[in-house]
Amino acid sequence: MAALKTLFLFAITAATALPSPMVLDRKESQPLSSSNAPWDAGATTQFPIHPSCNVTQRRQIEQGLNETVELAAHAKAHILRWGNESDIYQKYFGNRPSLEPIGAFDLIAKGNRDVLFRCDNPDGNCQLEDPFVQGLTEAGYAGHWRGENGTDETVICELSYHTRRSLTTMCALGYNIAESETNVFWASDLMHRLYHMPAFGQHWVDHYADDYEEVVDMAKSNKTYSTHDSEALQYFALETYAYDIAVPGVGCPGPQHDSNHAEVSGSSSAGASPTSTTTQSASAASDIPEVSSL
């Protein structure tokens, strides 16, 4: 019986091999059972938008996310080109290795989009008064990560459509990097929101610094956090975009300061930006904030 089987197998092998031995020598990269399915079958290549978003909301969120991808892709490209030679890199990440921010930006630029943006305010947070928001005609949150109510979901609230701007206004309308909030733009605001969701932040990107000064100070002290700090990643992406793309070779860095907590020239208070809504400090202290602010 064994001999017969061996003979049978030999017969098959010989018969198969005869017409084209070269074919058998070629290494097959696909499992035979997967037939025609591409290796990345089932990938989520577009950011899912919940049906609760109406047509105009969807368009704005989609456009915002497109700009987020553009912002992240350029930030990565800047690091790949300049690495530690970049003054902007040094400013936000010190001498930390570049692998981490490259990965963080590439996830947004090209990663699987296993998240959901929705507009139906299921947790009621859009109406919450944010104690940090002052001077806005529309009070409340501009959006929030759903936290334990929906780890992979972010709610975009009405306030976003009134306040968030396109990257085409970079360095215009009074904006500068040092004095304006990162959430002026859809692109950076949504980058922040993406990093709250595990598909992008991987429970690794978090808030270790609250604002521009803390981010810059963190880089100076060469803390390991800087390359996975949500604010540092946003500021770096915004400044490289401003300097490389929006106003090439100039950008709009705003007042620079040389030493820790030294003067920010001209400004009398920390929240000096006219477009300032607030810091995102509401969520900064906790590891997994219930609500990702604004």
Contact flag: residue 283 with Zn ion (CB under 5 A): yes
CB of 115 to Zn ion, least distance (A): 15
3-state secondary structure of 96: coil
- Polymer length in residues for the chain: 294
The residue nearest Zn ion at its CB is: 292
The residue (of 240 and 293) whose beta carbon lies closer to Zn ion is 293
Tell me which stretch binds Zn ion (CB under 5 A): 23-31, 51-59, 96-104, 282-290.
282-290
CB of 188 to Zn ion, least distance (A): 12
Tell me which stretch binds Zn ion (CB under 5 A): 16-24, 30-38, 72-80, 277-285.
277-285
Q: How far is CA 209 from CA 121, 162, 165, 213, 215, in A?
A: 28, 27, 24, 9, 5
Residue 40 to residue 217: CA distance in whole angstroms: 42
The residue (of 72 and 252) whose beta carbon lies closer to Zn ion is 72
Q: How many residues bind Zn ion (CB under 5 A)?
A: 3
CB of 51 to Zn ion, least distance (A): 26
Tell me which stretch binds Zn ion (CB under 5 A): 4-12, 21-29, 216-224, 280-288.
280-288
Q: How many CA atoms lie within 13 A of 44 on its CB side?
A: 12
Provide CB contacts within 8 A for 290, sequence distance 6+: 147, 148
Q: How many CA atoms lie within 13 A of 198 on its CB side?
A: 8
Tell me which stretch binds Zn ion (CB under 5 A): 8-16, 90-98, 176-184, 285-293.
285-293
Per the CB < 8 A criterion, the answer to whether 65 and 191 are in contact is no
Residues that bind Zn ion (CB under 5 A): 280, 283, 292
